[in-house]
Amino acid sequence: IQKRDTATVREAVQQAYERCKNETGGKNADYIPYLANVPSTLFGIAACLPDGEVIAVGDTDYKFGIESVSKVPTAILAMNQYSAQEVLTKIGADATGLPFNSIMAILLENDHPSTPLVNAGAISACSMVQPVGDSDGKWKAIATMAATIANGGKNPVTKQQVFKPELSPKIASMMATVGFYEHTGDWLFTTGLPAKTGVGGGIMGVVPGVMGVAAFAPPLDEAGNSVKAQKALAYIAGHLNLNIF
């Protein structure tokens, strides 16, 4: 995939926002009181380019809970502190095709967590890692996090090498295979964009070597994926031809 110029990306992001801003499908995650009370009309989209420029539209300054999107940097931290092979051995990298909190997924894997991007595997990953850095210096926005993955572990904004370059394709492959839980296959078939969702309404997408994209809107579908954010990122991926396949 060739890199896209700033004007082209800006146009796609703005068009996606305009096309999707009136979407009313889905509902907030009501099993977490804080998320149930987040204004359901919030909506924002951002893209981070290789030069560190961030293109943003909508409610991108709102601080929301990224929830399961945090499983991505946790998995990266585990692989960076140990190795990709050790994480594969101890946790796994298999897609479950089941909900993110599925007990059946663990049983089907013979009591193995299966992947760091579902709940059981994320708990295992957390038990492996040692916290690093300070809270103010960690990921500022999920679009920048996605761009860091797309950029071989180098944050395009700070120019800091955050993790080993060889881990980028590892985490991108995990996102591609399990990022939308039981709807992952449909998402990948439709967009070809490795992405990870969270029940806070955020979605982070990685286009290797090109950019990171993200969108946020609290109302979710039955699998826990933001309805509006999905549509926005699907439009951007299609408009800019970001299908990695």
- Mean pLDDT across 78-94: 93
List all residues 6 or more positions away from 46 whose beta carbon is below 8 Å from its beta carbon: 13, 54, 55, 56, 57, 60, 141, 142, 143, 213, 214, 215
- Within 8 A by CB and 6+ apart from 105, the residues are 96, 98, 114, 118, 120
CA dihedral defined by 109, 197, 205, 57, rounded to 10 degrees?
Answer: 180
Confidence check: pLDDT of 120 > 90: no
Q: What is residue 113's predicted lDDT score, i.e. its pLDDT?
A: 67
pLDDT in tens, 145-176: 999 999 999 999 999 999 999 999 999 999 99
Higher pLDDT, residue 135 or 6: 6
Q: CA quadruple 174, 179, 183, 185: dihedral positive or negative?
A: negative
- pTM of the predicted model as reported, rounded to 2 decimal places: 0.91
C-alpha distances out from residue 244 to 21, 75, 194, 235, Å: 26, 22, 8, 15
Which position has the higher pLDDT, 18 or 114? 18
How far apart CA 225 and CA 196 sit, in angstroms, is 9
Q: Which long-range contacts (CB under 8 A, 24 or more apart) does 109-115 make?
A: 115/91, 115/174, 115/177, 115/178
> What number of other Cβ atoms are within 10 A of residue 146's Cβ?
30
Q: So what's the pLDDT on residue 134?
A: 54
226, pLDDT greater than 60: yes
- Give 101 or 107, the one with higher predicted confidence: 101
What's the length of the chain? 245
Going through the chain in order, the beta strands assigned E by DSSP cover: 44-48, 54-58, 195-197, 202-207, 211-216
Contact 122, 116 (CB under 8 A): yes
> In the predicted model, is pLDDT for residue 140 greater than 50?
no
Of all residues in the chain, the percent with pLDDT exceeding 90 is 76
pLDDT of residue 137: 38
Residue predicted with more confidence, 112 or 209? 209
